[in-house]
Amino acid sequence: MLYWLPRLCLFLLIGAVLGLGILPATSEDIASTLIVVILGLGLFSLTLHVFPPERY
């Protein structure tokens, strides 16, 4: 469960930001935000794959 906790918090944060209208909700802004989130999650997953928490 702890492995999914950062991702869940990140999705909740993005949902709150878009839902509350803090960012302009144009399709281009939403697409940019989603691209950044997906890239961030990919780098996070890669980091956990290369450096598993049990080993280091």
Tens-place pLDDT, residues 1-56: 556 777 787 788 777 777 776 665 678 877 887 888 888 888 888 888 888 877 65
pTM of the model: 0.52
Q: What is the pLDDT of residue 41?
A: 84
From the list 7, 33, 5, the residue with the least C-alpha distance to 19 is 33
Q: Give the C-alpha separation, 46 to 16, whole Å.
A: 26
Q: What is the pLDDT of residue 49?
A: 83
Q: Give the C-alpha separation, 50 to 28, whole Å.
A: 33
Residues 6+ apart with CB under 8 A from 29: 23
Q: What is the pLDDT of residue 32?
A: 81
